Chains A and B, each alone.
Chain A
Amino acid sequence: MNALQPRNVRARLTAWYVAVLAGVLLLYVGGASALVFFQLRSELDRFGIDDLETIEGLLSFGADGKLALHSDYHDHPYPANMQDRLLEVWSGDASLLYRNELLGNRVLGEKPETGEGAEGYSIRSIRMSDGTPARVVSKKHLLDGQPTLIRVGYSEEPLWQHFWQIAIGMIAGLPLALGLAGMGGYFLARHSLSPIERMARRVNEINAERLSARLVVENPDDELGVLAKAFNETLARLEGSFEQLRRFTSDASHELRTPLTAIRSVGEVGLQKQGAIEDYRETIGSMLEEAGRLSHLVDSLLMIARAESGQVRLVRTTISLLPFVRETASVLDVLAEEKGQHVSIRGDETVQVQADGAILRQVLINLLDNAIKYSPSGAPISMRVSMSSDDQMAAVGIADNGPGIPPEHRKKIFDRFYRVDEGRSREAGGTGLGLAIAKWGAEAHGGQLDLQCPAAGGCIFRLRLPVAGRTSVKIRSEALTAVQVHSEAPTDTLQASVVFFRH
């Protein structure tokens, strides 16, 4: 079977083409021959009826009471011809009255069937005793007051001969026609498939180093154009992720190198100088701090790697968002207190989400920590839980009153290791992964994390999560819930932040 299977698409297409064409042509030959056959036969039937009418006039009982065919009937143009017909006449009581010489011992069917020829002419095909196919026309006829049945028959052999002549003649021409069609088909197939070969050659030239190459789209609307476009899109995506990976690898090695360099240089310098035991403790402590940072970084990278390969399975529970935000934010209270910042948390008490508590907590902590870190001392920070009416998403907005983020940084802010201000956040102990992890966390829940920077200043990070429902008791709490008020924030700034949020 496999040996018969043509190897390339060209040959396969041609083979199919030829096979289908052969089938169609055979049907055509059969159909055409049959059509000719049936036409000739219906012509024969008409002749039969004519003849039968003639014969009716030629038949009469002789003096001896025997039925005879008068071949000299003057009114009829071909009385002699009537001798060529196969002719039988049966009496009303089903005894044979006449059988002409041409028939000899053969019969045109057995005794008359009931109803045969009773109403007009009955026409049928029979096979005579010597196997000759024949067409028989019969009719009842009153002859000299006696009911008789006249049967006229013709051999169908000439018809069949004609049929086979036509059929065989046409079939004989088939191989030539198929051969020509096959060649034409093969040529056409090769021609229309040649762009694929060109594409294959081009694709072979593309590798990880040359991902920027693209296929030439000759006609964007035909099938090959669609394929080429799809392939180009895939290439673009691949190139994008390769680029991301390359950047990530180089960023990660840079980030890992920073604490390693610190450990090395601190150690080397510490070893060179002759110091008191206190100095050595200081040196070792500093090295340990960097080692801690390094292991922390590795942990975060591992978490991201696991998240990106889809190994993190979310354990979802129903979470009432506002209390959850309050509880989570309370962990960072002291950090805000230290900077004299006031964190206000308010919003819709009823919003619930289906979320993995640990991950959602991490997301919220990263966002709030970010807001605390980048807001100046004494500036208010507000968190608000709400529900957008249009798309059934729960939203947590975290608005700070920091310096804002310049437009050119906004897009990259969620990139791993991206820092708006290199030195500052590293000093603050950040890994540069907090927002990347937060964004991943939001997306893992089918949500989004985006950033808006109003012209008035500050930033609003908006975390949107698919809503799970609302608690049945609707308590809309618009009251300001102060989690911790460390230093009295002036009322006007607080109100400003509220108004700010409402628009």
Chain B
Amino acid sequence: MRLAAKVTSKRNGGLRILLVEDEQKVAKALQEGLEAESYSVTLAHTGEDGFFRISSEPFDLAVLDVMLPGRSGIEILSAMRRQGIKIPVLLLTAKDAIEDRVLGLDAGADDYLVKPFAFPELSARIRALLRRGKSEAAVVALSMADLQMDLLGRTVTRGATTLDLTAREFELLEYLLLHNGQVVSREMLARDVWRETARHTPLDNVIDVHIARIRRKVDDGFSPKLVHTVRGVGFVLKAERL
């Protein structure tokens, strides 16, 4: 864990995030979680405070709750966009009504997340938003420890052994490798790997079976173990023990 923190601190160090959330517990948890990923997090509990902070201090990204006492997240968002503040904004909403999403995106939100969400999901979205706009070299190979994935030849090897993966397993492993050391939730897998619009129980079971198979193929007879289940949260590909 400490090692992971070091890795991410290199990546996220100095990036400032404004978090506007009135629910104290949620706010505290998100702040700690994001700080563990080495972001510098400023917390605001009301819409007014949030808007004051955002107009007076420089931030790299804002996470706004939609339902806030005083000014709603969407009001803050439109006001700051009118002021010409262009930083990426992630909206948190308790309603998944389509109108709400459309309203948020119309007001200038870059992304939205419906509560309740898994923390890894929030973290992944934030990373994606911060990465946005920066050109990245096309990834042709991924690796972790002695696991090598060749994206062009679509082959996977562990040490000297070539692993025989199905198309779905390959995609799943690629997704885990891309989230280098970050936990991915079942929601993320359902959406990004299976491309299902609705998450449902049968799909969770399907995901579990695939993870079990990947684990068998990647880890059986090899060391260190790479595929780990974080109970209640999701899965992570890591070289060290949790």
Contacts and interface: CB of A to CB of B under 8 A. Distances in A.
Contact of A331 (B194, B197, B201, B231): B194
Interface in B180-233: 194, 196-206, 209-210, 213, 230-233
Interface string A330-363: 0110110110000000000000000000100010
Contact of A334 (B209, B232, B242): B209
A450 interface: no
Interface residues of A, number: 31
A72 interface: no
Interface in A270-305: 281-282, 284-292, 295-296, 299, 302
Interface of B: 96, 116, 194, 196-206, 209-210, 213, 230-233, 242
Contacts of A338: 209
A288 B231 contact: yes
Contacts of B194: 331
B198 A332 contact: no
B201 A434 contact: yes
A335 B202 contact: yes
Contacts of B233: 285, 288
A285 B206 contact: no
Contacts of A302: 96
A332 B232 contact: no
Q: Which 4 A-B pairs have the closest CB atoms?
A: A288-B232, A285-B231, A369-B202, A285-B232
Given A287-B232, A289-B231, A295-B116, A429 B204 contact: yes
10 contacts: A288-B231, A335-B202, A335-B205, A335-B206, A335-B209, A337-B209, A358-B198, A365-B200, A368-B202, A430-B201
A417 to B, nearest CB: 14
Label chain B's interface by main secondary structure: loop
Contacts of B116: 291, 295
Given A282-B231, A288-B232, A295-B116, A362 B209 contact: no
Given A291-B232, A431-B201, 13 more contacts: A285-B230, A286-B232, A291-B116, A296-B201, A302-B96, A331-B206, A334-B213, A337-B209, A358-B197, A366-B200, A366-B202, A369-B202, A429-B201
Instruction: Kindly name the residue among A284, A292, A332 whose own CB sees the greatest number of chain B CB atoms within 10 A.
Output: A292
A296 B242 CA distance: 27
Contacts of A431: 201
Contacts of B198: 358, 362
A226 B96 CA distance: 46
Interface string A99-125: 000000000000000000000000000
B187 to A, nearest CB: 9
Contacts of B197: 358
A174 B204 CA distance: 89
A431 B210 CA distance: 22
Contacts of A290: 232
Given A286-B232, A291-B232, A331 B203 contact: yes
Contacts of B213: 334
Interface string A413-442: 000000000000000011100100000000
A369 B209 CA distance: 14
Contacts of A365: 200, 202-203
Interface string A309-333: 0000000000000000000000110
Contacts of B242: 281
Nearest to B210: A334
A285 B231 CA distance: 4
